[in-house]
Amino acid sequence: MEKGVQTKKVKMFHGIQTRILALTVFLVMAAVTLCMILGIYTFNRTVMRLVISDIESVTTAYSSMLRLSVLNNNGNMPDTYNLKQIFSDVSVKGVEGSYCYVTDGNGIMLYHPDESKIGQSVENVVVKGLVEKIQSGETPEPAVVEYDFEGETKLAGYNVLRGGQAIIVISADKSVALQAEKSMSDCGSGNLTGSDYSGNCCVPLRGTADT
């Protein structure tokens, strides 16, 4: 009988060991999973900051070029031909379908890669909001914002010339921009901005998206 009691104690001890081991494995796996989730979240936030930085760099560089062109044109906005010379190849490096367009302070298209849009009123919510601010006497600060267009999330970086003379917008699909930045990070290329003005890093447009 005493032997049976000992055997029972041994089995109980092994059972407790098994439970402890299983709990330890579970906790380790949970910790690893949590670290992976946090790592992915942090990486995605970092990538998003890089994308925003890229777009800001392009809009800043080309708004400076446009200001200089206006100054050299006696304070007048360059015509469509000269705007095309400045903006026709503007995009964010590696972000397929990204492009630039320019409107006046009333939201009328002055330049767009799709020439059929020139002279038309821009209908997206970002530009309409900027026009409202300009017409109320404000000059909106440069920014990069998100907006939805036909079920897709778009990124729009904008820069408004002093007095609302013109609005420069860089447009890109958010998903494409994030994937492009991740690919460049994987290749070790770092944060690169598409802009001839800031170092001949601009890539030709591969297509356009709706505004």
Question: SS in 3 state form for 1-39?
Answer: CHHHHHHHHHHHHHHHHHHHHHHHHHHHHHHHHHHHHHH
Q: What is the pLDDT of residue 89?
A: 86
Q: Over the chain, what is the mean pLDDT? A: 76
Handedness of CA 193, 161, 149, 39 (dihedral sign): positive
CA dist 20 and 111 (Å) reads 69
DSSP 92: -
Residue type, 103: T
- pTM here? 0.66
Q: What is the pLDDT of residue 131?
A: 94
Tell me: pLDDT of 205 over 50.
no
Tell me: pLDDT of 103 over 90.
yes
Percentage of residues in the chain having pLDDT higher than 70? 68
At 26-59, the pLDDT tens digits run 777 776 676 666 655 565 666 677 778 888 888 8
Tell me: pLDDT of 156 over 50.
yes
CA dist 140 and 123 (Å) reads 18
- Across 84-88, 134-138, 175-179, 192-196, least confident range: 192-196
Per the model's pLDDT, the better-predicted residue between 67 and 188 turns out to be: 67
Closest-CA residue to 157 (of 145, 141, 165): 145
